[in-house]
Chains A and B, each alone.
Chain A
Amino acid sequence: MGVEGIGAPVARKEDRRFLTGKGRYTDDMTAPGMKYAVFVRSPHAHARIERIDVTEAKTMPGVIDVLDGEQLLADGIGNLICGWMIHSKDGSPMRMGVWRPLADKTVRYVGDAVAVVVADSVAEARDAAEAVIVDYDPLPVVTDPVQALRDGQPQIHSEAPGNLIFDWEIGDAAAVDRAIAGAAHVTELKVLNNRLSPNPMEPRATLGIYDPGDDHYTCYTTSQNPHVARLVMSAFYNVAPENKLRVIAPDVGGGFGSKIYIYPEEIVCLWASKRTGVPVKWTSDRTEAFLTDAHGRDHVSTVQMAFDANHRITALKVDTISNLGAYMSLFSSAVPTYLYATLLSGQYDIPAIHANVRTVYTNTAPVDAYRGAGRPEATYLLERTMETAARELGISPAELRRINFIRSFPHQTPVIMNYDAGDYDASLNAAMAAADVDGFAARRAESERRGMRRGIGMSCYIEACGIAPSAAVGSLGAGVGLWESAEVRVNAVGTIEVMTGSHSHGQGHETTFAQLVADRLGVPIDSINIVHGDTDKVQMGMGTYGSRSGAVGMSAIVKALDKVEAKAKKIAAHIMEADESDIVVEDGALKVAGTDKLVPWSQVALAAYTAHNLPAGMEPGLKEGAFYDPANFTFPAGCYICEVEVDPETGKTTIAQFVAADDFGNIINPMIVEGQVHGGIAQGIGQALLEGVHYDPDSGQLLTASYMDYAMPRADDLPSFKVSTSNTPCPNNPLGIKGCGEAGAIGSPPALINAITDAIGNNALTMPATPEKVWAAVQTGH
């Protein structure tokens, strides 16, 4: 691997700018003449707009203009759309309601954008926004997805009668019912997956710049996928054609899914820049982020798991209601379907699975992918059920899992996925050893002597990453292909730039991608720059989400490197008058194998650009591009064990230890991979112990709209983590890597809840397991 190549824990190249205050985030950007946007947002969860009066607001100091949905509609700006078509089981297409970037006649959740003020300063824009008079006629509200499906509830979109967006199924219902009827034991559980706010520390922001000279738009935005933003804003929102729209996602302060989507604000600021003739910047405050960033999770499920007399799972039946909020966000339909139900086989050989999923409109913020996206919901449901079943069957949770592990690969599940490689015993054994499960009984006894309750819980997760073969996702309804693109440019002096469609917003691509190139070409990583996040600089891209940057993004770089290397070998062979097949790349040079003849990369590069002496017919230059379309998903998997101590007097849970044993396939930079796991676990612990979005059910007001109301994990809520990895390389991509971005958030919530319920002897506990809930559960436990 060398000190900088694949497998080396290289300190990150990008750190210096972040550590010295030189990171460049969207809100740091300015443009000559720039003004500031503040949005007028609905204070009602559901209302008709009777009248908007901007007369006074327009006269306020510093105000350039006040614009509303009527003007936006008149200018032909399109509706926001969901880009993944799902059909109900009766064959009908999903029922997507209209989402205007600025509300037309109806507002459907608190925070729905109604108008925008553009002014000289944020403060003046805010003052004027408060002076905009909107007459609302409030309508009845529904926030709970189960309630929203009942008769007589408020109707949120006329396109979706009964608030039902689609009623979808996967698997063989008849086979599942037969297996349940003939089972030796059936475990039944109701599972709630709490609604979360992603909360990247950088709030969303955008700067729209219209240049009338060229009739051209530039959009700085907090995006995980600037090319997708450009595509969607061009193809669907009619902001500008692609060749007239440059999208730049500079440094982005975390995403976790919430910055995949194109939101109304990007569209409105670009449009407003043309309308007003000045660059327009909007920066979300944290309350706006809570109100309008796409939320995650929010499932209500029932599950039945059938076992034969030997404790082998014979069937799994799941019914899920998924709350998609007031509007269908960009990939919202895919999350509770193909990213969720296809993972319900977990690490287990389950002959029959059936899942029914109903998605529902409510008067709440849109819900879409949040770290893990569907897979945490599947894993929580499955691993809570496994732990519950083990308790009911009276065998150890580890043993029940071992009995049912898949051990032969490839493995075709009954729910589409074809697992390519894995060793689930390896991660289970590693986790149990690291957690010293054998010593748990003594630790529990010691806790009990102090009047405390101690519990241990595990979770064996699988996820599907590296989304995904374009033809496959296309057949399932995706509106886009999910390849990745890369270009490797060897400059004339031998330095290298890699233009990648992946986007780094904390993942460390500028280091890991450079490590890959360094490993292949033998050049120092300081001579390699990774360029990303700008549609004018990077040819094409699909962006970063679903742990795809390694498996898909780096694979595209490999393909481009293959082409660069092939051409360089031809040039080197020509220079050294050797046979091309004898040229090898080693230590930053191209050598004739078995001799001391070599030319350094810099000399080959210079030869390529001077073009004075190239093989006959060869084009000058040394720059190659590639698109990579994955052959399959990748399947990271692992085992997490959590041990807790609960104070029965207060209900407070303390995490005594948290162990993660993951199989990510091959690893480029173990230090960065560990960091990804740490962060994912923290978000999973947050979900299980602290976090939850709450709406008042009567008014639809968001009750958790600040960091004083929404409990983000703080340093003293968390322990240090014990993490390790095992490795079954992914056979379906050139690097053998699987992806590590989401595992922590997927595997940890069930481990924690399994531990707490073990400690208190009461299985009826929902997330977040706040002290109040745990205390109440203790009172009715053993």
Chain B
Amino acid sequence: MAKITMTVNGRQVAGTCDDRTLLVHFIRENLGLTGTHVGCDTTQCGTCVILMDGQSVKSCSILAAQAEGSAITTIEGLAQQGELHPVQAAFNAHHGLQCGFCTPGMVMTAVDMIRRHGGNLDEGRVRAELEGNICRCTGYHNIVKAILAAAAAMGGARQAAE
């Protein structure tokens, strides 16, 4: 059994699990944070994407034990004081989700994508960056629109702050 301590959505958590437990299962079952999903068994679909120390990670591709001591943000930790993150707000405004199952992974991927590329995102780059996230409902059209809109909004906010 592995004893694990980490910070999840700003809160210190500790737990015990089988050595073989994947981080996604630790998040879902030990922590009860069921917004992070499992959509495949081959690290292809991206419904389990979380932020680990600020970077997007497929939480099905690492063991919970490997996340020892890290800072994790899940979809539940993105909105602050009830205010949607600009990426979440853009997905709503542009109808970037339908059944909602791929959505948490899409949103977390988009947050990291915008962090890395900021104002240098265009449609082609967004589509290429979404290679690791599968959506069966939207045809990606509105997801791409939402991410570009969020990137623009966040860029604008950054500029205003500077």
Chain A interface (Cβ < 8 Å from any Cβ of B): 11-12, 14-25, 27-28, 121, 123, 199-203, 251-254, 256, 283, 285-287, 505-508, 671-672, 674-675, 678-683, 706-708, 712-716, 718, 720-721, 744
> B32-62 interface mask toward A, CB cutoff 8 Å, 1 = contact, 0 = none?
0111111111101101000000000000000
User: With A20-B78, A256-B136, A720-B144 known to touch, is A201 a contact of B127 (CB < 8 Å)?
Assistant: no
- A-B complex: 10 closest residue pairs judged by Cβ atoms: A21-B35, A253-B101, A18-B100, A682-B139, A506-B99, A707-B44, A506-B98, A21-B75, A715-B130, A678-B139
A253 with B138: CB separation less than 8 A: no
A715 with B143: CB separation less than 8 A: yes
* Cβ contacts under 8 Å, B76 to chain A: 20-22
* Cβ contacts under 8 Å, A507 to chain B: 98
A254 with B78: CB separation less than 8 A: no
* Cβ contacts under 8 Å, A254 to chain B: 98-99, 101, 136-137
Shortest CB distance B149–A (Å): 13
* A121 to B, closest residue via Cβ: B18
Shortest CB distance A707–B (Å): 4
Q: List, sorted by A's number, 18 A–B pairs whose CB atoms are closer than 8 Å.
A: A11-B93, A18-B97, A19-B103, A20-B79, A25-B37, A27-B38, A201-B47, A202-B37, A251-B100, A253-B100, A671-B95, A674-B95, A682-B136, A714-B134, A718-B141, A720-B141, A720-B145, A744-B139
* Cβ contacts under 8 Å, B42 to chain A: 286, 706-708
A706 with B18: CB separation less than 8 A: no
CA distance A201 to B39 in the complex (A): 6
User: With A11-B92, A506-B98, A715-B126 known to touch, is A201 a contact of B45 (CB < 8 Å)?
Assistant: yes
Check B102 for interface membership: any CB of A closer than 8 A: yes
User: With A11-B93, A716-B131 known to touch, is A506 a contact of B137 (CB < 8 Å)?
Assistant: yes
CA distance A420 to B2 in the complex (A): 66
B140 with A715: CB separation less than 8 A: yes
B95 with A202: CB separation less than 8 A: no
CA distance A683 to B79 in the complex (A): 32
A675 with B98: CB separation less than 8 A: yes
Contact pick for A201, options B78, B102, B123, B142, CB 8 Å: B102
* Cβ contacts under 8 Å, B98 to chain A: 254, 506-508, 675, 679
* Cβ contacts under 8 Å, B75 to chain A: 19-21
Shortest CB distance B25–A (Å): 8
CA distance A19 to B105 in the complex (A): 10
* Cβ contacts under 8 Å, A283 to chain B: 38
B100 with A199: CB separation less than 8 A: no
* B103 to A, closest residue via Cβ: A18
A19 with B45: CB separation less than 8 A: no
Shortest CB distance A719–B (Å): 9
Check B72 for interface membership: any CB of A closer than 8 A: no
B139 with A679: CB separation less than 8 A: yes
* Cβ contacts under 8 Å, B92 to chain A: 11-12, 15-16, 19
CA distance A23 to B88 in the complex (A): 14
Contact pick for A19, options B41, B97, B134, CB 8 Å: B97
- By secondary structure, the A interface counts as loop
CA distance A679 to B102 in the complex (A): 14
Give 10 A-B pairs besides A506-B137, A678-B142 with Cβ atoms closer than 8 angstroms.
A18-B103, A20-B35, A20-B78, A22-B35, A23-B35, A23-B100, A200-B99, A202-B39, A707-B45, A716-B128
* Cβ contacts under 8 Å, A679 to chain B: 98, 136-139
* A122 to B, closest residue via Cβ: B25
A286 with B39: CB separation less than 8 A: yes
* A286 to B, closest residue via Cβ: B40
CA distance A508 to B142 in the complex (A): 15
* Cβ contacts under 8 Å, A713 to chain B: 139
User: With A675-B95, A679-B138, A706-B44 known to touch, is A715 a contact of B131 (CB < 8 Å)?
Assistant: yes
CA distance A760 to B11 in the complex (A): 59
CA distance A712 to B133 in the complex (A): 11
Shortest CB distance B109–A (Å): 10
Contact pick for B95, options A12, A252, A716, CB 8 Å: A12
* Cβ contacts under 8 Å, A199 to chain B: 136
* B107 to A, closest residue via Cβ: A19
CA distance A489 to B101 in the complex (A): 30
CA distance A283 to B142 in the complex (A): 29
Check B135 for interface membership: any CB of A closer than 8 A: yes
Shortest CB distance B34–A (Å): 4
B137 with A19: CB separation less than 8 A: no
* Cβ contacts under 8 Å, A201 to chain B: 37, 39, 45, 47, 99, 101-102, 134-137
Contact pick for B141, options A22, A285, A508, A678, CB 8 Å: A678
Shortest CB distance A202–B (Å): 4
* A708 to B, closest residue via Cβ: B42
* Cβ contacts under 8 Å, B136 to chain A: 199-201, 254, 256, 679, 682-683, 712
A202 with B99: CB separation less than 8 A: yes
User: With A12-B95, A21-B76, A715-B144 known to touch, is A707 a contact of B101 (CB < 8 Å)?
Assistant: no
* A14 to B, closest residue via Cβ: B100
CA distance A11 to B142 in the complex (A): 13
* Cβ contacts under 8 Å, B74 to chain A: 21
CA distance A648 to B145 in the complex (A): 32
* B105 to A, closest residue via Cβ: A201
Candidate in A199, A201, A721 with the most chain B CB atoms within 10 angstroms: A201
Check B91 for interface membership: any CB of A closer than 8 A: yes
B104 with A21: CB separation less than 8 A: yes
Check B115 for interface membership: any CB of A closer than 8 A: no
Check B3 for interface membership: any CB of A closer than 8 A: no
> B111-134 interface mask toward A, CB cutoff 8 Å, 1 = contact, 0 = none?
000000000000110111011011
CA distance A640 to B18 in the complex (A): 53
* Cβ contacts under 8 Å, A506 to chain B: 98-100, 137
Shortest CB distance B117–A (Å): 15
CA distance A253 to B97 in the complex (A): 11
CA distance A695 to B92 in the complex (A): 40
* Cβ contacts under 8 Å, B13 to chain A: none
Contact pick for A675, options B34, B84, B124, B138, CB 8 Å: B138
CA distance A683 to B135 in the complex (A): 10
Contact pick for B101, options A202, A256, A285, CB 8 Å: A202
* B21 to A, closest residue via Cβ: A123
A11 with B95: CB separation less than 8 A: yes
Shortest CB distance B49–A (Å): 12
Contact pick for B33, options A15, A21, A23, A720, CB 8 Å: A21
* Cβ contacts under 8 Å, B144 to chain A: 715, 720
CA distance A721 to B143 in the complex (A): 13
CA distance A99 to B141 in the complex (A): 41
CA distance A287 to B128 in the complex (A): 26
Shortest CB distance B9–A (Å): 10
* Cβ contacts under 8 Å, B133 to chain A: 715
CA distance A671 to B94 in the complex (A): 8
* B132 to A, closest residue via Cβ: A714
Shortest CB distance A108–B (Å): 25
CA distance A492 to B134 in the complex (A): 45
* Cβ contacts under 8 Å, B100 to chain A: 14-15, 17-19, 23, 251, 253, 506
